[in-house]
Amino acid sequence: MKHVPAFIGGESVENGAAYDNIDPADGSVLGSVTRGDAELIDSAVTSARAAQEGWAATKPEVRADIMEAYAAVILAHTEELTQLESEDTGKPLSQARADAVVLARYFTFYGRAIESYYGLQLPVDEAFHTYTRREPLGVCGSVIAWNYPMQLFGRAVAPAVVTGNTIVVKPADETPRTAVRLAQLAVEAGFPSGVINVVPGIGAEAGAALAAHPGIDHVGFVGSTQVGVSIAQSAATNVTPAVLELGGKSPHIVFPDADLDQVVPFVTKGILQNAGQTCSAGSRLLVHSDVAGDLHARLKAEFENVTIGPGREDLDLGPLVSAKQQSRVQGMVEGADGTLLTGGSVPEGLDEGAYFAPTIITGVDPQSEIAQQEVFGPVLASMEFSDEDEAVGLANGTDYALMAAIWTTDVSRVHRLARRVRAGQVYVNAYGAGGGVEYPFGGFRKSGYGREKGYESLDAYTATKTVIIRL
């Protein structure tokens, strides 16, 4: 895909403007991308509106069949999608391939779920027959991030369209290709033209125009808290419901009775997967002082054993998404307090790409920038605690509250901390960035509001209508 068009109403569309798509592995140009604007967004919303009523009128079983057919088409094109994703994001091929499989799972899961998604009968008064219906909101707009383009496409599109909505997707500036290809494949799978539309472009132009469009009935956004605030303000102006999945500074809380043999691989993967560019990355290590030295030594050895290179070589760690992101990570690490245990720089021999070495900083001040702000790179900030109350205070001591992990064999402690720690998902003796398709996902505080994934996402893309009939 040397040029990325918009895909609106079942057809490729251009507007004459374009920008370069950069390979983060070496800085080369992968091709050009249509630079969507307000006019192109308006065309996509108009197309989605024209298709919505007919799509909503289709039987749930018909929508379910198309969803499962789409999942099959995605799996049949796994290698093509994997290649595009790896080139755009820099992530290793195996990670991109796993993303394609999860993407297909979104459409399988929601295709099966919709046939058992019903309203309620409310037997309140014998004189009335009262029931509720779940009805689609209409046309949805989704602005997705660059770290997991395929997974985020599935997370937004699958629950939206299965409930009878149509959608306009604005992929991230840096990673537009899989979204456009997936919209093309959707038509192959049987989705009517106009149900799934994609407009690439710059966030401040196409993304802002989509969020502010008066014809949008639901706004979804995954990205930074700063941009999320702007999206929410635009949605509020039009009284449009929004679901925001924003930043995170998720902690691993490790007690002395934890099995460190289990802790080490989960902590390592939790911060190094996708080069740490994950909103739910386990970027803070809160470890009891009795086992801090042992755990730090084990993690240092694990981090220094990581292989690094271009995504096409399928090593452990690829580049960051851009030179701009690399510079941001470098600046935050250089300005950090504490002790640099390992990493902290561009790996030797990889100067041409946007690479950064796996990094551990110990003895971090809990109020410092590196402990409070999202780095979005392979950087682990470690702090020590001496008792349960101090651990909870550290865990809840940032503006974010997306995920957390508790490492202990004390069952009572597990339940105490699961209640006390503020996070949308709490893992115990395990960690999975964002969890499975089936698990509701979202945060508190500046990590956003609303929930994606699982059955709760079906509620987010529908509204309850109550029907009261006097008998």
Neighbours of 65 (CB within 10 A): 15
What are the tokens at 260? Answer: 């460190």
User: Residue 234 and residue 257: Cα distance in Å, rounded?
Assistant: 48
Question: How far apart, in Å, are the Cα atoms of 126 and each of 54, 119, 467, 470, 471?
Answer: 36, 19, 15, 9, 8
What are the tokens at 456? Answer: 């709760």
Say which of 174, 245, 302, 384 is annotated catalytic. Answer: 245
* Helix, strand, coil % over all residues of the chain, rounded to 5: 40, 20, 35
Question: How far apart, in Å, are the Cα atoms of 290 and each of 287, 295, 359, 386?
Answer: 8, 10, 22, 8
Active site residue 245: yes
Contact 447, 401 (CB under 8 A): yes
User: Residue 336 and residue 361: Cα distance in Å, rounded?
Assistant: 8
- Helical packing angle, 78-89 and 60-76, nearest 10°: 70
State the burial class of residue 98 (Cβ atoms within 10 Å of its Cβ: 0-12, 13-18, 19+).
middle
Q: Which residues are catalytic?
A: 245
